[in-house]
Structure 1
Amino acid sequence: MSNATAPAATEVPSPDAPFRLDLDAYLARIGWSGRRGASVGALRPGPRAHAHALPFENLDSPRGIAPSLALPDLEAKLVRSRRGGYCFEHNTLFAAALEALGFEVTRLAARVRVGDPTAIRPRTHKTLLVGVPGDPARHLADVGFGTNGALLEAIPLTAGPETHDGDRRHRLLREPHHGLEDLWVLQAFLDGAWRDQYAFNRDPWEPADYEAMNWHVATNPRSPFRHTLRAQRTRPDAHLSLMGRTLTVTRADGSREERELADEAEVRRVLTTDFGIDVPAA
């Protein structure tokens, strides 16, 4: 029998063990170098770092594909690849990162009001209510809305006060509703007026709820995400929006430039160079 010391056994993760987000990789992807831990100071700027690094895009939906909301797939797509996603993907990933940092997260669903604040649309937007352990205050955090009216910082869940997240201005209002509580309405100050972005209540949603709505948004022939390519990118100096072949650049001072891209080749080039997306072959 040999007297050599046997090598230490390597621990093999159980195939049934829950997936744990690679927090280091995620924070490196969004360029986050601040202090880690659950605090309001760490929470508020998080959405800006995420938005500047990860684009909003629906490149799967026009191909009839409902993107996976499984955390391993989101990590592979948004963290380890040059891709983005839409609200279900972004806020699922962000919620996992917040919980890994020690925050308390409630996943919510909102009705989008952009374009027509009186329309009653289905709850197709995922947003987050976030708390710091031991602190009764809650904050609205959202990295998946995509538009130039989207939040760039987490804001207190308080009705009335105007908040400034860089050049963007937001506020929350309460609106009477026939449900168990009044609605919360997020507004953004755009083009000289307060405009509704979405409305929500604090009823938590479960993963199965988002799976059903994700499938609807991505594959329903009547869904605008099914038949129109959409991409958004927030940069420190401007917001980029691509709808089909229409590229709109909105600068921090509110000035706007719009042009039509010539063909698919130019669409691919703009998505790659300006939006930072590796475009799928199809």
Structure 2
Amino acid sequence: MSVDLGKYFARIGWDGERAPTLATLRSLQHAHVLAIPFENIDVVVGTVPSLDLADLEAKLVAGSRGGYCFEHNTLFAAVLEQLGYGVTRYTGRVRVGARPGEVRPRTHLVLAVEVPGSDAAPHLVDVGFGSTDAMLEPLPMIPGVVREGRGRRHRLVLEEADGPAPVWVLQARSGDAWIELVSFTRDTAPPTDIDVANWHVATHPRSPFRRLFVQRTHRAGHLVLDGTTLTRTAHDGTVTVEQVDGAEGVRELLETEFGITPPPGIRPER
């Protein structure tokens, strides 16, 4: 099955050149992140998000919804492949908030994208991380190369590993320090592995997505709704925090500020 590219481009407000170039990849990634929010509402209401392409198109493109990493990056990978890019999928371990020495499961999906006709290294692409430190543009997969894209700085570093495959770590510049976002090895993730990781995230009793977690990146800043706590980060770095009053307040906020029409039964906590 293929994605209706016309409807997808309308959803993200993009009308650029459809040739599979690096410039097109950059503008598509930025447009996608700004247009489609990060959210885990399906998990909160007790269902496992479908990664079937038809379901993703109905939800993220035709519907007033968003999704989390597996949904975003599965949809985006399909769009890129239809345009002629080469796409390889990797599962990764989220390192934000991890304790020293903690090894988390592979519960994140990232993409390595090759521009046809180019001898350059593939680019790391991720439209499903969602945070204020997430990439807004592709990052060359060259260790140590710092890329500034849309005001955010990222780099990849290599770590020695116990196994044969080196570990790549995506880092973001935050203030005066580099922080680790996600690590991965360049082992292609087949659909079955991605499905298992998606099921684990949605059903494990200790999954962080058992509570409502919604993010949206705007040109002027960033919004995060964690349960009933709303955090606004302005483009100049100013942060304000407020509490949302109950389920009805959450529903109204989702509709007005996140552009999401939530299903019945949405609650801030499960």
In the alignment, the residues of structure 2 paired with residue 264 and residue 242 of structure 1 have an alpha-carbon distance, to the nearest angstrom, of: 13
1:263 alignment counterpart: 246
SS of equivalent residue, structure 2 residue 65: coil
Deviates more, 1:32-41 or 1:176-185: 176-185
Matched, 1:79 2:61: yes
Matched, 1:251 2:261: no
C-alpha displacement of 1:41: 1.3
Q: 2:135 aligns with which of 151, 158, 162?
A: 151
In the alignment, the residues of structure 2 paired with residue 161 and residue 251 of structure 1 have an alpha-carbon distance, to the nearest angstrom, of: 28
Matched to 2:178, the amino acid is W
1:3 alignment counterpart: none
1:99 alignment counterpart: 81
1:174-203 Cα offsets, whole Å, 9 max, x none, are: 111122232111111124321000111110
2:41 alignment counterpart: 59
Question: How does 1:72-221 map onto structure 2 within 5 Å?
Answer: 72-116=54-98, 118=100, 119-136=102-119, 137-221=121-205
C-alpha displacement of 1:64: 1.7
SS of equivalent residue, structure 2 residue 41: coil
In the alignment, the residues of structure 2 paired with residue 167 and residue 251 of structure 1 have an alpha-carbon distance, to the nearest angstrom, of: 13
Cα distance change, pair 278–168 in 1 and its aligned pair in 2 (3 A): same
SS of equivalent residue, structure 1 residue 60: helix
1:107-165 Cα offsets, whole Å, 9 max, x none, are: 11110000126321000000000001232320000000111111100111011122111
In the alignment, the residues of structure 2 paired with residue 193 and residue 256 of structure 1 have an alpha-carbon distance, to the nearest angstrom, of: 19
SS of equivalent residue, structure 1 residue 195: strand
1:239 alignment counterpart: 222
RMSD over aligned CA atoms reads: 1.1
In the alignment, the residues of structure 2 paired with residue 117 and residue 50 of structure 1 have an alpha-carbon distance, to the nearest angstrom, of: 31
Aligned length: 263
TM-score of the superposed pair, with normalisation by structure 2: 0.95
In the alignment, the residues of structure 2 paired with residue 68 and residue 262 of structure 1 have an alpha-carbon distance, to the nearest angstrom, of: 30
SS of equivalent residue, structure 1 residue 194: strand
Computing the radius of gyration from Cα coordinates, the structure with the larger value is 1
C-alpha displacement of 1:260: 1.1
Question: How does 1:22-41 map onto structure 2 within 5 Å?
Answer: 22-41=4-23
Cα distance change, pair 38–276 in 1 and its aligned pair in 2 (3 A): same
8 A contact 1:109–1:124 mirrored in 2: yes
Matched to 1:242, the amino acid is L
In the alignment, the residues of structure 2 paired with residue 21 and residue 105 of structure 1 have an alpha-carbon distance, to the nearest angstrom, of: 15
Gaps of 5+ in 2: 266-270
In the alignment, the residues of structure 2 paired with residue 195 and residue 255 of structure 1 have an alpha-carbon distance, to the nearest angstrom, of: 20
Matched to 2:52, the amino acid is A
Matched to 2:19, the amino acid is G
Q: Percent identity?
A: 51
Question: How does 1:2-17 map onto structure 2 within 5 Å?
Answer: none
In the alignment, the residues of structure 2 paired with residue 40 and residue 179 of structure 1 have an alpha-carbon distance, to the nearest angstrom, of: 33
